[in-house]
Amino acid sequence: MKYLVNGLSPNMFDFKNSGKVVVKIDHLNTKEFCDSIKDAVNMIGHQSTADLVNALCGTSFKMNRGSFTSNKGDEIYIITLSIRLEEGKVLTLDEISELLRQDKIKFMRAVQIE
């Protein structure tokens, strides 16, 4: 299964069987990210982030503050900030687009391997 998220949390992984999870995380460029997410289950929790992904990748994702539990082999595609915002700050599309231009947006793939 493929998931698209705007942040990675330990709560996304299933620890029930062994009490531990091993995750491999790779950095992706924009093209690799966009090519990989077309059929992903969208779990982006902020509208401006979904709008940025749509503008970059030609997709039509909407904000979806759902949750899921990843299993071994699942792929989680992550768009995330490389900076910490002040508490409660919600970015507009213009603000998040500016962070992309400043190389403060990162694209990654996480795969649960154990």
Domain ranges for the chain, please list them. Answer: 2-112
**What's the CATH code, domain 2-112?**
3.40.50.11170
pLDDT band for 109, please (50, 70, 90 cuts): very high
Of 84, 76, 19, 11, the C-alpha closest to 43 is 76
- In sequence order, what DSSP letters do the residues of 50-84 get, joined into one string? HHHHHHHH------------B-TT-EEEEEEESSP
Tell me how crowded residue 11 is: count the other CB atoms within 10 A of its CB: 10
Query: pLDDT tens, 60-81?
Result: 999 999 999 999 999 999 999 9
- The whole-model pTM stands at 0.92
* pLDDT (tens digit per residue) in 26-64: 999 999 999 999 999 999 999 999 999 999 999 999 999
**CA–CA distances in Å: residue 74 to residues 16, 60, 81, 113:** 16, 22, 22, 8
